[in-house]
Chain A
Amino acid sequence: MAWPALVAFTVFGLVPLVGVLVLSFSSWSGLTQDVPFSGLDSWKSTLTDPGLPHALLVTFLIMALSWLAQTPLSILLGVFIAAHSRYRSVLAVLFFIPLLLSQAAIAITYKMLLDPNFGLGASLGWGFLQQDWLGEGNLAIGVVIFVVSWQWIPFHSLIYQGGVRQIPVAMYEAAEIDGAGRVRKFFSITLPQLKYTIITSSTLMVVGSLTFFDLIWVLTAGGPADATRALAVDMYVRGFRTGQMGPASAIAVILVLLGLGLALLLRRLGGRDTTESQLEGI
């Protein structure tokens, strides 16, 4: 009985996708009901726009750095809360709170806390906190990555927690008999056994980072200048601020292709048996 899912996917997934593809061959301003077609013009202007390589760079920078920041911490936290003890369960629940908040609310809160004149730094008088966090390009990217990590590390810890609990206890017992210590057990058993979990979690992080929009928009609006103008932000500005729905749709298509490509690449990295049961091999 796959047809309800198929219908839902067609109506809400495929139809808009085809719509965007069609729009990318138009010069629609977004203001009229009829759509004037213009062939490859929108694609040409998008691909030759110097803003595109920059937006790609920002997107990949945020993707790579947020992956680097999230993955090791998530694994360590996941391993930590996977052990059975009561206070760790309580911690796991507390960790989860950031995930319950909306990105826009988080962004507004951080924006206020980081305000150089009225924020945390100015109120507490701590010089270190009194940076121009969102007003300087590199710092602003750092803040975006920090806030993203702050929100998503709990979620990925949970995935790793599940992964760790899947590892057969017998393996650890055997290792202990052989005299392996904690660190050795982590690197020789836990980490290799988490391979597929790492790939799943990384796929979610990497593909998900392509869609970061609300957080960046509220925090920095793509600024200062264009320091945090990632592809999704660029798409929005082109479409809704400058009324160039054609180029904006072209960027949307590029985003879809990027997401697909990255997901396939990560699958390939994991080997063909990624989706098979991990318990069979023991």
Chain B
Amino acid sequence: MKRRNFLSLTAGAAAATGLAACGNSGPAGDTSKGGSGGGDAAGYWFLSGPPGEPIRQGAVDRFNKANPDNQIKVTTFQNDTYKDKLKTALGAGQAPSIIWGWGGGGLKSYVDAGQVDDLTDWFAQNAAVKNKLFPASFGPATVDGKIYAMPAETVQPIIVLYNKDAFAKAGVANPPQTWSELMSILPKFNDKGIAPFSLAGQSRWTNMMWLEMLFDRIGGPEIFNNAYDGQKDAWSNPAAIDALTKVQELVNAKGFVKGFSSVTADSNADQALLYRGKAAMELHGSWSYGIIKADGGSFIKDGKLGYFAFPAVDGGKGDPSNVYGNAGQFLSISSKASDKQKETAKKFFASMLDDTEQQGWIDSGGVPIVQGSNAKLASSPDKDFLNFIYDVSSKAKNFGQSWDQALSPSSAETLLQNISKLFQLQITPQQFATNMNATIGK
């Protein structure tokens, strides 16, 4: 009992000094609505860099202006460092009030640690907020039937982008419709000194997208779902072995750009390879469009960018409309935030994806996860691409979540490690399956 008192006292003192350090002018623990000006601002961490950063910042600025009593303070981070920083902050009890993330397995680990609030009731009370969004976007936000995050921003399926100039140079008329067609055009590009596919292999999740699509096309979504659900030897399924073999065939056929294992996705070098004509195609998330638009000069304006859905695999069981990717981005509320900060966060959630923000995402080359947002696409200069993404996302029989986001962080690391070895041809498909089967149930 004594120890407990001591602990709660020190915790209270730490919180008090923390608040004082933030320059809190209002009375501590003031939960009354419309309290004194200023109040304790809700911290909001998200990823830096175009095209997302200015749009997120804009949404916060408009909210702060409209709600003088509920202020949000922004801190931005680079992609690869963000997750580590966030985990450290959570462990130290210094997490921001609003946590930007990808949902899925990462969110589940926060939920298991009691770090984020259950928002199920809030969504029940605010049906308008919920009904506005794509139903699929709630999948990665849900853990054990409860909603722990507000889906936000854009839907980002994985698609294939291509350079029309490179296609013309290599004498390839049309994008490949099937896997065998895809394999048959590889030498045409290589003969012209153009790498068929760009790939940022050092980041590893980029390689994983190939497996996601191939597993699905060959065996349907249940192949991965079985592994996810802990079914014994799920990775040894013949469809899985077939997909893993096809990836190594692609590597052996010089399908990827030279040195792909040292290219990182954070530097956007993989998109640069595409728009500079050093690679003909790239399998990547639809956000690449925004990056190419921002960095690629007049590449898109000149009509040189093409895109198509991942080809069907001959004889594959998966529906060719299936797609993988991000069904949205996800904002959770830290359970350690004060009542006032939580109130601010929820108010902010309700204000999200207003017309201005939707327009911002559309202008950046994204499709907001808002039902019927395709009505707004017609006026966009990128309307062809955006309609393509809207169709791919809304017509998909199954919109799968990225594997590394769906799995627990430790299984995800083992998976990425093995994928890297698979692409390096250091392990055979059978060894990959054996290594991954060993993680099932852990």
Chain B 259-283 interface 0/1 with A at a Cβ cutoff of 8 Å (1 = within): 1111110000100110000100000
**Contact residues in A for B410 (Cβ distance below 8 Å):** 242-244
Known: A32-B91, A241-B84. A115 touches B113 (CB 8 A): no
Please tell me if the beta carbons of A133 and B417 are within 8 angstroms of each other in the complex: no
Name the distance in Å between B184's Cβ and chain A's nearest Cβ: 25
A242 to B84, CA, bound (A): 10
**Contact residues in B for A111 (Cβ distance below 8 Å):** 262
Please tell me if the beta carbons of A237 and B202 are within 8 angstroms of each other in the complex: no
Chain A residue at minimal CB-CB distance from B106: A243
Interface size on B, residues (CB 8 A): 37
**8 Å CB contacts to A: which residues of B397-415?**
409-410, 412-413
Point out the residue from A137, A221, A240 that lies within 8 Å of B202, measured CB to CB: A221
**Contact residues in B for A32 (Cβ distance below 8 Å):** 91, 113-115
Please tell me if the beta carbons of B424 and A225 are within 8 angstroms of each other in the complex: yes
Chain B 403-438 interface 0/1 with A at a Cβ cutoff of 8 Å (1 = within): 000000110110001001100101000000000000
Please tell me if the beta carbons of A240 and B84 are within 8 angstroms of each other in the complex: yes
**Contact residues in A for B88 (Cβ distance below 8 Å):** 30, 240
Known: A224-B420, A243-B109. A31 touches B261 (CB 8 A): no
Please tell me if the beta carbons of B84 and A224 are within 8 angstroms of each other in the complex: no
The number of A-B residue pairs with CB atoms under 8 Å apart is 98
A164 to B19, CA, bound (A): 58
A224 to B264, CA, bound (A): 12
**8 Å CB contacts to B: which residues of A94-135?**
111, 114-118, 132-135
| A223 contacts chain B at the CB level, 8 A cutoff | yes
Known: A225-B417, A226-B421. A132 touches B109 (CB 8 A): no
Please tell me if the beta carbons of A31 and B413 are within 8 angstroms of each other in the complex: no
Please tell me if the beta carbons of A115 and B269 are within 8 angstroms of each other in the complex: yes
| A136 contacts chain B at the CB level, 8 A cutoff | yes
Please tell me if the beta carbons of B413 and A242 are within 8 angstroms of each other in the complex: yes
A226 to B204, CA, bound (A): 12
| A74 contacts chain B at the CB level, 8 A cutoff | no
**Contact residues in A for B87 (Cβ distance below 8 Å):** 30-31, 240, 243
**Contact residues in B for A31 (Cβ distance below 8 Å):** 87, 90-91, 109-110, 113, 115
Chain A 228-241 interface 0/1 with B at a Cβ cutoff of 8 Å (1 = within): 00000000010011
Known: A224-B201, A224-B424. A29 touches B262 (CB 8 A): no
Show 8 A/B contacts (Cβ-Cβ < 8 Å), sorted by A.
A32-B113, A117-B269, A117-B273, A132-B262, A224-B424, A225-B424, A226-B417, A237-B413
4 nearest interchain CB pairs? A116-B259, A135-B261, A134-B262, A31-B113
Interface residues of B (CB under 8 A from A): 83-84, 87-88, 90-91, 93, 109-110, 112-115, 201-202, 204, 257-264, 269, 272-273, 278, 409-410, 412-413, 417, 420-421, 424, 426
Given pairs A135-B259, A135-B263, A243-B87, 16 additional interface contacts (CB within 8 A): A30-B88, A31-B110, A32-B113, A33-B91, A115-B269, A117-B269, A118-B272, A132-B258, A134-B262, A135-B201, A135-B261, A220-B202, A226-B420, A241-B84, A242-B412, A243-B409
Interface residues of A (CB under 8 A from B): 29-33, 111, 114-118, 132-137, 140, 220-221, 223-226, 237, 240-244
